[in-house]
Amino acid sequence: MVLPSTTQPLTTVLFDLDGTLSDPFEGITRCIQYAMEKMGVGVPEASTLG
Per-residue pLDDT of the chain (50 residues; tens, 9 = 90+): 777 776 788 889 888 777 788 888 888 889 989 999 999 998 888 888 77
Provide the CB-side half-sphere exposure for 15 (13 A, CA): 8
Q: Degrees (nearest 5) of the Cα angle 12, 18, 19?
A: 120
pTM, to two decimals: 0.56
* Of 16, 47, 49, 19, nearest in space to 35 by CA: 49
d(CA 49, CA 37): 15
